[in-house]
Chains A and B, each alone.
Chain A
Amino acid sequence: MGLLSKKDANLILDPLADNNPITIQVLGICSALAITAELKASLVMAISVIFVLGLGNVVISLMRNIIPSKIRIIVQLIVVATLVIIVDLVLKAFAYELSKTLSVFVGLIITNCIIMGRFEAFALGNGPWKSFLDGIGNALGYGVILIIVGFFRELLGSGTLFGIPVLGDPIAKTGLYSIGYENNGFMIMPPMALIVVGIIIWVQRSRNKALIED
Chain B
Amino acid sequence: MGKRTDKNSYTIIFAIGMVLVVGSLLAYASSSLKGRIDTNKELEKQQNILYAMGVNENDDSNAVFVSTEDAPKLFSEYIKKQIVIQGDDISEDNNAYLIDVKKQQTLAKAGEKRKLPLFIGEKEGQTYYIAPIRGKGLWDAIWAYIAMDDNMVIQGAFFDHKGETAGLGANINKRFFMDDFIGEELMSNGKFVGVNVAKGNADPLNIDKTDNEVDAIAGATITGDGVSAMLKSELKLYVPYFENLKNN
Contacts and interface: CB of A to CB of B under 8 A. Distances in A.
Contacts of A34: 165-166
Interface stretch (A1-9, A49-57, A69-77): A69-77
A38 interface: yes
Interface string B154-191: 00000000111111101000000000000000000000
A65 B2 CA distance: 8
Contact of A93 (B6, B36, B204): B36
Contacts of B44: 96
Interface string B23-43: 001100110010011001000
A82 B30 CA distance: 12
A212 interface: no
A157 B168 CA distance: 11
Interface stretch (A12-20, A21-29, A83-91, A128-136): A83-91
A151 to B, nearest CB: 12
B5 A67 contact: yes
B69 to A, nearest CB: 13
B237 interface: no
Given A68-B11, A94-B36, A35 B219 contact: no
Contact of A158 (B10, B62, B167, B205): B167
A188 B162 contact: no
B245 interface: no
A112 to B, nearest CB: 15
Given A67-B14, A71-B14, A92-B40, A188 B163 contact: no
Nearest to A107: B163
B22 interface: yes
Chain B interface bracket (under 10, 10 to 19, 20 to 34, 35 or more): 20 to 34
Contacts of A70: 6, 11
Contacts of A65: 1-2, 5
Contact of A68 (B6, B25, B30, B61): B6
Contact of B33 (A89, A104, A163): A89
Nearest to A150: B167
Nearest to A189: B219
A103 B140 CA distance: 11
Given A34-B165, A68-B5, A78 B219 contact: no
A37 interface: yes
Nearest to A158: B167
A185 B218 contact: yes
A41 interface: yes
Nearest to B65: A97
A121 interface: no
A104 B168 CA distance: 13
Contacts of B99: none
Contacts of B15: 68, 71, 74
Contacts of A69: 1, 5-6
B97 to A, nearest CB: 17
A82 B25 contact: yes
Interface of A: 34-38, 41, 65-71, 74-75, 78, 82, 85-86, 89-90, 92-94, 96, 103-104, 107, 153-154, 157-158, 163, 171, 185, 188-189
Interface of B: 1-2, 5-6, 10-11, 14-15, 18, 22, 25-26, 29-30, 33, 36-37, 40, 44, 61-62, 68, 162-168, 170, 204-205, 218-219
